[in-house]
Amino acid sequence: MSTLPLDMQILNAIAALFLLLAFAMLSQRRVVTLVKLLALQAALLCAATLLLAWRTGETHLYVSALLTLLLKVLFLPWLLNRLIRQLGVYWDNESLLQISGTMLVGVLLVIFSFGLAQPIVALASTATRSGIGIAIAVVLLSFLTMITRRKAMSQVVGFLSMENGLFFGAMSATYGMPMIVELGVALDVLVAMLVLGVFFFQIRERFDSLDLHHLESLREDK
């Protein structure tokens, strides 16, 4: 029953796949696959930006797509894979809740985000406004990923996925953010990654493991 033009339908399809990837990351136990899913998510983001750029003709969106491609699809996953090899973390089997419980909470978060987005969709003026609900859902799901994971690497992937979701939301709502803001955020993410990499080595030296519950032993009352 859809009467949207073809490129809008493709954009909707990309949005749906975006959501699916966020769910897949929620239940994925292998860290290498997590990074691959993150790269795929960033690739989808790049494709959506390109499509939007082609549709609206705004040049800053082309630059933004190029930045996304270089930084999030190529560089960051390469950096993460290098970290994984050096630290030796390949599996993240334990999580806070059972997989089915996590998925159920995920579905409830999705309902919440979609419900939240419905009045916004009615008011916004861009053509891609239905992507806002998906963006909010992806942000919340990435947050959930960060909460339910034990290994630090998975939490970093969750953080990056949250950032992807925010970008997608910005793109759907206002056709991207001003260039200064995008460059600033990209620089922040890069610096954060480098600092986190250093931190991981320190944590591993201290505790011989990247399991975050060891950090609890740093409490005062011993």
Partner 1 sequence: MLLLASLLGLWVVIGFLGLIRPTSLRFVAHILFPLGAAVGVAIAAAAALSIGSPTEQWVLGVGLPDLPVHLRRDALASVFLFLLGAASAGISLFGAGYFRRGEGTLPGLLCLQYHLFLASMGAVLLADDAYSFMVAWESMALTSYFLVTTQHRIPEIRQAGFLYLLIAHLGSIAILLSFGVMQGGSWQFTFDAMRAAELPPGWASAAFLLALLGFGAKAGLVPMHVWLPEAHPAAPSPVSALMSGVMLKTAIYGVLRVTFDLLEDPLWWWGLVAMSLGLFSALYGVVFAAAQTDMKRLLAFSSIENVGLLFTGFGLALIFQSAGMSAPAALALIAVLYHAVNHAFMKGLLFIGTGAVLHATGQRNLGRLGGLIHRMPWVAWPTLIGALAIAGLPPLNGFVSEWLLLQAFLSAHEVPRLFLNMLLPLGTAVVALAAALAGYVMVKFFGVVFLGQPREAALKDAHDAGWRERAGMIWLAAGCLLLGLLPNQAISLLARVPVQFGVLDPDATFGSWWLLDPVAGRQASYAPLVFLAIVSLCVVATIFAVTRIYRRRVRRGAPWDCGFARLDPRMQDTAEGFGQPIRHIFEPFFGMRRELPAPTDSAPHYHVEVSDRIWNGVYVPAAALVQRLALTVAVLQQGRISTYLVYSLVTLLVLLGFVL
Partner 2 sequence: MSGLRWLIQVIEVLVALLAAPLFAGWIAQCRAVLQNRTPPSIWLPYRNLRKLLTKEAVLAEHASPLFRIAPYIVFGTMICAAAIVPSLSTNLPFSNAADAIALVGLLATARVFMALAAMDVGTAFGTLGARREMMVGFLAEPALLIVIFVASLISQSTALPTIADRLATEAFALYPSLAFTAVAFALVLLAENARLPVDNPATHLELTMIHEALLLEYSARHLALMEWSAALKLFNYACIGMALFVPWGAATTEMPTAPALMLAIPILAFKLLVSGAVLAFAETAFAKLRVFRVPELLATAFLLAVLGLLVHLLLQG
Give the footprint of partner 2 on this chain (CB under 8 A).
1-2, 4, 9-10, 12-13, 15-17, 19-20, 23, 27, 99-100, 103, 107, 110-111, 114, 117-118, 130, 133-134
> Which partner, partner 1, partner 2, none, binds residue 32 by CB below 5 to 8 Å per kind?
none
> Which partner, partner 2, partner 1, none, binds residue 133 by CB below 5 to 8 Å per kind?
partner 2
Among 66, 107, 181, 187, the residue binding partner 1 under the rule CB under 8 A is: 107
100-111 per-residue burial string, b: 16 or more CB within 10 A, e: under 16: eebeebbeebbe
> Which partner, partner 2, partner 1, none, binds residue 119 by CB below 5 to 8 Å per kind?
partner 1
Q: Site mask, partner 1, residues 59-98, x = CB under 8 A?
A: ----------------------------------------
Nearer to partner 1, 26 or 46 (CB): 26
Residue ranges in 113-132 that form contacts with partner 1 under rule CB under 8 A: 114-115, 118-119
- C-beta of 208: minimal distance to partner 2 in Å? 32
Non-local (6+) Cβ contacts of 153 within 8 A are 31, 34, 80, 83, 84, 87, 89, 92, 200, 210
> At which residue do the structure tokens 């950032």 appear?
163
Nearer to partner 1, 16 or 187 (CB): 16
> Which partner, partner 1, partner 2, none, binds residue 112 by CB below 5 to 8 Å per kind?
partner 1
- C-beta of 106: minimal distance to partner 1 in Å? 13
Stretch that binds partner 1, among 64-72, 81-89, 108-116, 199-207 (CB under 8 A): 108-116
Compute the distance between CA of residue 83 and CA of residue 98 in angstroms, rounded to an integer.
28
Query: Residues 92, 31: contact at Cβ < 8 Å?
Result: yes
> Which partner, partner 2, partner 1, none, binds residue 81 by CB below 5 to 8 Å per kind?
none
Interface with partner 1 (CB under 8 A): 101, 107, 111-112, 114-115, 118-119
